[in-house]
Amino acid sequence: MQDQFGRTIEYLRLSVTDRCNLRCRYCMPEEGVAGLPHGDVLRYEELLRVVAAACRLGIRKVRVTGGEPLVRRDIVSFIGQLAALPEKPEITLTTNGMLLAEHAEALKAAGLSRVNVSLDTMRPERFKELTLRTGLEQVLAGIEAAEKVGLLPIKLNIIPFVDFNADEIVDFARLTLEHPWDVRFIEFMPISSDLDYASRDGLSMEEVEARLRTLGELEALPYQKTSGPAHMYRLRGAKGRIGLIPSVSGHFCGDCNRLRVMADGRIRGCLFDNHETDLKAALRNGSDDTVLEQILLEAVCAKPEKHQINEEDFTTPSRRMHGIGG
């Protein structure tokens, strides 16, 4: 699929639920959010039809996300069904890792290629302060299990905040000395106007880089398509790599190859764009697959040239990542 700016769209982020077993304070309020009514969430057979249609149109990689994807019942067999589609898309998963240890082996056997684990701190008391839950040990066990079963390379995603985990940047980076992991620092995106977090709370990637340089020589690695928008580095002698992702300030919209499908069947061409296309009605009114394909193509056509989040008049309605499939 080509959009009107000549970009090839081959990457689908698929949110399978808006529910989560953590309450990360920058992502959702403590009391949680009113979840989607059960009937609004697409059933697995509906999601499968959507992905099958998208793959026929040229999607090559599907990232399963949420909410927390591993809280949805029977997620492992759904992932198996995705991996078994005739086009054999690459299936990856973004998870907070809480339930990863118990599912890692079955996920690998089902055909999952690899996992991204979101982990913003390695200190138990901070983990609780941020997520309002205990469970750091579970997450670490999940990462270990994923490594053991070969869900590689493991990518750890960290959002650095000025007053929260800035002093752990070097600790996370040091993990790459021992492990062949991609440790990726991702710029905080101030997209939820109803939370207490603003752009000033996120640490800039320049600041992250400055802290990394205190660890010694940081070799910039050549650009690889598989790294997406990350600038990749390696510490001298390290087994793993370090990625810096300036999601907001960096402008990689020109290379954006993504489409997002939310758990209720809305499609977005850009996380920061209000324009949405709906698949649910077509899925439930007996439309055939050509209609689904047409709707996906319309969504690709509506994909904006670039995001507007840096513009002064950008408005931030309630758009938490967990509902959109961050």
94 makes contact with ligand SAM (CB under 6 A):
yes
**What is the x/- site pattern for ligand SAM, positions 47-86, by CB under 6 A?**
------------------xx-x------------------
The stretch among 49-57, 124-132, 186-194, 222-230 that binds ligand SAM (CB under 6 A) is: 186-194
DSSP letters, 143-171, are HHHHHHHT--S-EEEE--BTTTTGGGHHH
Per the rule left: phi > 0, alpha: psi between -120 and 50, beta: everything else, 237 is left
Q: Measured from the CB atom, is 92 or 96 closer to ligand SAM?
A: 96
- Nearest CA to 69 among 107, 121, 111, 124? 107
From the CB of 117, what's the least distance to ligand SAM, in Å?
A: 7
**What is the x/- site pattern for ligand SAM, positions 105-124, by CB under 6 A?**
-------------x------
Are residues 227 and 255 in contact, defined by beta-carbon separation less than 8 angstroms? no
**Which tokens hold the place of 44?**
């697995």
Angle of the 289-301 helix axis to the 44-56 helix axis, nearest 10: 70
At 309, which amino acid appears? I
From the CB of 275, what's the least distance to ligand SAM, in Å?
A: 20
Among 17, 157, 176, 277, binds ligand SAM (CB under 6 A): 157
- Nearest CA to 15 among 65, 74, 73? 65
With CB under 6 A, what is the number of residues at the site for ligand SAM? 19
**What is the x/- site pattern for ligand SAM, positions 222-241, by CB under 6 A?**
--------------------
Q: Hey, which residues between 15 and 44 contact ligand SAM (CB under 6 A)?
A: 20, 26-27
Give the burial string for 236-268 (b: 16+ CB within 10 Å, else e): eebebbbbbbbbbeeeebeebbbbbbbbbbbbb
The stretch among 80-88, 105-113, 183-191, 308-316 that binds ligand SAM (CB under 6 A) is: 183-191
Q: Measured from the CB atom, is 261 or 282 closer to ligand SAM?
A: 261
Backbone angles phi, psi at 226, to 5 degrees: -70, -15
Interface with ligand SAM (CB under 6 A): 20, 26-27, 65-66, 68, 94-96, 118, 157, 159, 186, 188-189, 191, 321-322, 326
